[in-house]
């Protein structure tokens, strides 16, 4: 196990042609980059867990353009976010190939990057996929309402609208509402996040799930059952796992909190998966 000092995060800044990206690196070992979801920040991938930095990985996380501590841009598409990801990888001088992944928007950003240059990727970690390339994915009004709420009423109104869109028990709606508010309060530029909420759902990381058949890479697909997280359908995760030639799919048991919300447990699953590949030695 690495000494505690080695796993404390070290901040970084990456200048791109259109934004300034802020993030942090922690741990020592094999380079891993994990990207967060739409309206989240870098805190919301492994939720502060230090399991990966303590188990042979140098973990890099960053706030997407306009999110968290990163600066706004004029364009929020999977192409531009994959370019930002490439700048992070190149300017940090990461050793290729890297372990790459993320949650939701971050999962799709990682796939956009990997489809363009699969030789730079050793393995994929894909949590909460939602995009299939089909018209039913869009739900643009859902995202436009969230954008308008963030602009008009800040974090509180944004969280209220997110909660109102949850189709589940009251305790689940309450938890998601609280999580949405705490995430929204972390953004330096909420107006930029509102613009991203409009643009990203109108972008596409690929045309069809069938394109994933070209990614002959080890891939861990993390799905969650729909009673807690209907925004990331379990059926979509299964489609990704079926399309990817070397995929393994994992999930929580029915009735449990989504695995992608459990940073420590998710990190242990990632470490164990990569240990089986011979990528690193897990230490529990």
Q: What is the CATH number of domain 4-137+203-276?
A: 3.40.50.1820
pLDDT tens-digit readout, 52-94: 999 999 999 999 999 999 999 999 999 999 999 999 999 999 9
* pLDDT score at 136: 60
CA distances from 140 to 56, 178, 198, 203, 265 (A): 41, 23, 8, 11, 32
Task: Return the pLDDT at 283.
Answer: 44
Instruction: Give SS3 for 121.
Output: strand
Rounded Cα gap, residues 158 and 240, in angstroms = 30
Distance, in Å, from the CA atom of 146 to the CA atom of 176, rounded to the nearest integer, reads 14
How distant, in Å, are the alpha carbons of 25, 105, 229 from that of 208? 33, 16, 23
Contact in structure between 201 and 133 (CB atoms under 8 Å): no
Domain boundaries, the chain: 4-137+203-276
Cα 61 from Cα 42, distance rounded (Å): 6
State residue 282's pLDDT score. Answer: 42
Q: What is the pLDDT of residue 48?
A: 93
Contacts of 150 (CB under 8 A, 6+ apart): 39, 157, 158, 184, 190, 193, 194, 197
Residue 3 corresponds to which tokens in the numbers above?
């000494």
**For the chain, percent of residues with pLDDT exceeding 70:** 94
Fill in the DSSP letter of residue 49.
-
Reported confidence tier of residue 2, pLDDT bands at 50, 70, 90: very low
- pLDDT for residue 189: 98
Q: Which residues contact 167 (CB under 8 A, 6 or more apart)?
A: 230
Provide the percentage of residues in the chain whose pLDDT is more than 90: 85
Give the model confidence (pLDDT) of 177-208 as tens digits. Answer: 999 999 999 999 999 999 999 999 999 999 99
């Amino acid at each position: 196990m690495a000494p505690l000092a080695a796993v404390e995060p070290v901040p970084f800044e990456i200048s791109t042609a259109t934004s300034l990206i802020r993030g942090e690196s922690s741990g020592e070992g094999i380079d891993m980059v994990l990207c967060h979801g739409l309206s989240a920040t870098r805190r919301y991938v492994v939720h502060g867990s230090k399991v990966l930095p303590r188990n042979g990985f140098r973990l890099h996380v960053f706030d997407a353009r306009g999110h968290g501590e990163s600066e706004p841009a004029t364009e929020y598409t999977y192409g531009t976010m994959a370019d930002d990801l490439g700048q992070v990888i190149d300017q940090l001088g990461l050793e290729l190939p890297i372990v790459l992944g993320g949650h939701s928007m971050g999962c799709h950003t990682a796939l956009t990057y990997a489809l363009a240059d699969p030789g730079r990727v050793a393995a994929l970690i894909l949590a909460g996929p939602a995009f299939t390339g089909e018209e039913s994915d869009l739900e643009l009004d859902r995202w436009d309402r969230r954008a308008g709420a963030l602009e008009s009423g800040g974090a509180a109104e944004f969280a209220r609208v997110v909660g109102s869109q949850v189709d589940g028990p009251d305790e689940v709606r309450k938890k998601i509402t609280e999580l949405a508010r705490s995430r929204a309060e972390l953004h330096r530029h909420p107006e930029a996040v509102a613009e991203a909420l409009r643009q990203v759902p109108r972008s596409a990381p690929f045309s069809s799930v069938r394109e994933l058949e070209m990614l002959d890479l080890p891939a861990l697909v993390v799905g969650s059952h729909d009673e807690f997280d209907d925004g990331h359908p379990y059926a979509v995760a299964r489609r990704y796992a079926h399309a990817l030639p070397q995929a393994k799919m994992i999930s929580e048991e029915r009735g449990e909190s989504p695995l992608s919300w459990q940073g420590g447990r998710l990190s242990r699953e990632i470490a164990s998966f990569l240990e089986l590949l011979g990528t690193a030695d897990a230490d529990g």
